[in-house]
Structure 1
Amino acid sequence: MNVRRLLYPVVALAGIGALGGYAWHAQRQQPAPVEQGNGQAPGTAAKDAGKQGPAGPVAVDVAVVTGIRLVDDVNAVGTLRSNEAVILRPEVAGRITRLNFSDGQQVRKGQVLIAFDSAVNQAEVRQARAELNIARANFERNADLAKQKFISDRARDESQANVQVLEARLALAEARLSKLEIRAPFSGVVGIRNVSVGDYVKDGADLVNLEDLSSVKVDFRLPERYVDQVKRGQALEVMVDALPGKPFAARVDAIDPQVDSNGRSALLRGRIDNPEGRLKPGMFARVRLILSERANALMVPEEAIVPQGAKVTVWKVVDGQAVRTEVKTGLRRAAKVEITEGLSAGDRVVTAGQVRLARDGTPVRIMQGGTIQGMQEAKPNAAATAAVARS
């Protein structure tokens, strides 16, 4: 047992000694450093190298500032509505005697769509017209007699007033008769009717809807911060889920002057031409409002932006050196940032390697696709060359 305890320290010491000998032998095999041929002592060269700083340019990735067409837009959801829409309702109660349309039919303005039983009203019109004719004849006779002084002027005036009363009675009877016919207030397409011939309906009952689909409206809401940027006539792009892949061009037609205090949003209405009638009222719509367009907006990758306190900066490569440049940014699109001030088209900005750029004027070389494009040619290392030659 005592022999085994003494054996462990001996083996450990032997191992340590073997490793130390291997390290000393490996150090003796390394070639001596070769100084560049400038006649300086090795210690002097080391001091000079320490004063010169980094051995070469910093490797970075860069991107070129490019100008593209940029659209400033905002997206919203809305609902399609008919250009004109109404539910036809009678103003008087009555029994339906005639329906002059089929469900879903195109009708024209002024066309009689529904007629009610009008026998009584037609009789009232004829009676009022007959009484008016008699009153007019009496007035003409009284007017002649008054000229001849056979009757007083008062009698003539009374007969004239009677004519006016009967004219009003006739107009009233004709108006009641006209209420028994429902005409299309505008051209459009009628919906599915809720009544049939012979039904007795009360005044105000829903009969059928009429829709003008020559154009459709799209109502949507935008946050209040966009209200000042929206004007009548601005372009809209509308997509509906029922017709995927087909955008419809529209224009802003109206802006509600009141902002909803609950949602802090404003109601806008656009108009879309619908000659084929493919768009239907009630459809869900996705609206893209184009606020502004810039034909040559300068864009850089997001990686190029380097915040510095309250400022926004980029590293611009000028004559092989990195220069910190303050910029102003605009929109962000597809991992790119718009630069409104500070750069020009064709400038090169650093997108990777900014952490190694300590100050303005730092020499850089561009890394692209895993290779280095030297913006300043690096001289070969003389010591490394000599070591390779000896090997």
Structure 2
Amino acid sequence: MTLTAKSPAIVAALLAALLIGGLDLTPASAQNAPAKGIPVEVVKVVPKDLTDQLEAVGTLRSNESVVLRPEIAGRVTRILFNEGQPVAAGAPLIDLDASTYEAELAVARSDLKLAQADAERARTLFNQRAGTARAQDEAMARLSSTQAAVALAEAQLAKTHIVAPFAGILGLRQVSVGDVVQPGETLVNLEAIDPLKLDFSVPEMMLSRLGVGQPVTLAVDALPGRSFTGQVYAINPLVDERGRSVALRATVPNPDGVLKPGLFARVKLTTEIRGGAIIVPEQAIVPRNGALFVFKVTGDSVSMVEVTLGERLVGEVEVLSGIAAGDTIVTAGQQRLRDKARILIVGPDGTPVASES
């Protein structure tokens, strides 16, 4: 069709009619698209076990520890162990010269035989009315005395053989063959190290939270990156007046022997495990107008819910009231939110994801 001189006027009239009539030239797909919400990241609240712990420092000790010392004087004739060697209970360790004690025992046994014969003779004479009661009593007394002498000599002789009183690991010996030792002189130490004892203290104000059977975890600077577990088995009934503290003792399994008595330990004592605690990321908490809130997701919008907090953890916080397990809350993007605001749930990369509500 060929436009005449009147064509510009016709075009202008048509445009005016369209504007006056409010004709919508937006594509149908754009008309049906919903308005976008504020992008946020969310998390679903899952109940967890919350562990209440006390931190302390302590020292590892042998389960049993003894320094072996002779009860009698004597010359060391044999050393029957290697330093650092594990030994069983009753294992022979050191022999002292027994010749003097063997001789004393032989004399005592000889005296005993003579006393037994004298006692028997005195008894026979008394029964035949040829001896007196006094003579019989004196003979019986000598018999009892010589029997005691034999027992003493046997005990003295036994003390020349020093044995392990319990199973453990021997330390470094302090004597050599040929040394003459005196009663009470240090020979060698013996340590039972599986399990070990752990001694530590906590402030007296924590007394009501303590109990036998509570688990402990510990770490030692000598073994970085490793942790060990144990259990409290004794609580000192006496509070330390100077330090205002309560001493506890735990047992710590040590099957591979890597822990040693005397090591410094960093201790965590579990006083309570509370199941079903509501734990949320710290960044989900929003302080506004002197109160604390979280944004709870319902459909494609949020409601601003006031919460009460409990224990603070590393990067997390316990919520005592306001939300429940199964709720979905906002953890990122809440700075732009207000109550009843519409949201768009996105992932960490900003890509929209399905609602978790």
TM-score, L = length of structure 1: 0.70
CA–CA distance in structure 2, aligned partners of residues 81 and 348 of structure 1: 49
**1:76 equivalent in structure 2:** 56
1:258 match: secondary structure: coil
1:199 offset after TM fit, Å?
0.9
**1:314 equivalent in structure 2:** 293
Instruction: Please list every run of 5 or more consecutive structure 1 residues that lacks an aligned counterpart in the other structure.
Output: 1-36, 38-56, 376-391
Q: Deviations over 1:295-332 (max 9, x none)?
A: 431023445264887xx6535648657455453x3221
Matches within 5 A, 1:231-380: 231-303=211-283, 304=285, 306=287, 313-314=292-293, 317=296, 320=301, 322=303, 324-325=305-306, 327=308, 329-348=309-328, 362-366=339-343
1:95 aligns with 2:75: yes
Matches within 5 A, 1:45-64: 64=44
1:339 offset after TM fit, Å?
1.9
1:59 offset after TM fit, Å?
9.8
Question: 1:342 and 1:93, CA in 2 relative to 1: closer, same or farther beyond 3 A?
Answer: same
**1:214 equivalent in structure 2:** 194
Q: Deviations over 1:231-266 (max 9, x none)?
A: 222222222333333322311122222222232222
CA–CA distance in structure 1, aligned partners of residues 327 and 104 of structure 2: 90
1:350 offset after TM fit, Å?
6.6
Q: Is the CA contact (8 Å cut-off) linking 1:215 and 1:271 kept in structure 2?
A: yes
CA–CA distance in structure 2, aligned partners of residues 302 and 275 of structure 1: 40
Q: Deviations over 1:184-239 (max 9, x none)?
A: 11111111111101112222211111111232122222222333222222222222
CA–CA distance in structure 2, aligned partners of residues 307 and 165 of structure 1: 95
Q: Which amino acid in the other structure matches residue 284 of structure 1?
A: F
**Matched residue count:** 312
Candidates 75, 91, 94, aligned match of 1:111? 91
CA–CA distance in structure 2, aligned partners of residues 108 and 158 of structure 1: 47
CA–CA distance in structure 2, aligned partners of residues 221 and 265 of structure 1: 6
1:90 offset after TM fit, Å?
1.5
1:202 aligns with 2:179: no
**1:16 equivalent in structure 2:** none
Question: 1:107 and 1:155, CA in 2 relative to 1: closer, same or farther beyond 3 A?
Answer: same
Q: Which amino acid in the other structure matches residue 133 of structure 1?
A: K
**1:191 equivalent in structure 2:** 171
CA–CA distance in structure 1, aligned partners of residues 317 and 297 of structure 2: 21
Q: Is the CA contact (8 Å cut-off) linking 1:236 and 1:251 kept in structure 2?
A: yes
Q: Is the CA contact (8 Å cut-off) linking 1:80 and 1:280 kept in structure 2?
A: yes
1:163 offset after TM fit, Å?
0.7
Q: Is the CA contact (8 Å cut-off) linking 2:307 and 2:320 kept in structure 1?
A: no
TM-score, L = length of structure 2: 0.76
Is the helix fraction higher in 1 or 2?
1
**2:125 equivalent in structure 1:** 145
**1:160 equivalent in structure 2:** 140
Q: Which amino acid in the other structure matches residue 183 of structure 1?
A: V
1:76 offset after TM fit, Å?
2.5
Larger Rg: 1 or 2?
1
CA–CA distance in structure 2, aligned partners of residues 164 and 244 of structure 1: 65
1:91 offset after TM fit, Å?
2.0
1:67 aligns with 2:44: no
Candidates 105, 112, 125, aligned match of 1:125? 105
**2:205 equivalent in structure 1:** 225
CA–CA distance in structure 2, aligned partners of residues 148 and 258 of structure 1: 69
- Percent identity of equivalent pairs: 43
CA–CA distance in structure 1, aligned partners of residues 107 and 128 of structure 2: 32
Q: Deviations over 1:64-113 (max 9, x none)?
A: 54323332223322222211111111222222111111212222212221
1:165 match: secondary structure: helix
Instruction: Please list every run of 5 or more consecutive structure 2 residues that lacks an aligned counterpart in the other structure.
Output: 1-21, 23-36
**2:29 equivalent in structure 1:** none
1:134 match: secondary structure: helix
CA–CA distance in structure 1, aligned partners of residues 165 and 288 of structure 2: 63
RMSD: 3.2
1:259 match: secondary structure: coil
Question: 1:286 and 1:321, CA in 2 relative to 1: closer, same or farther beyond 3 A?
Answer: closer
CA–CA distance in structure 2, aligned partners of residues 300 and 175 of structure 1: 71
CA–CA distance in structure 2, aligned partners of residues 106 and 292 of structure 1: 39
Q: Which amino acid in the other structure matches residue 69 of structure 1?
A: D
CA–CA distance in structure 2, aligned partners of residues 281 and 219 of structure 1: 11
Question: 1:317 and 1:212, CA in 2 relative to 1: closer, same or farther beyond 3 A?
Answer: closer
CA–CA distance in structure 1, aligned partners of residues 80 and 296 of structure 2: 79
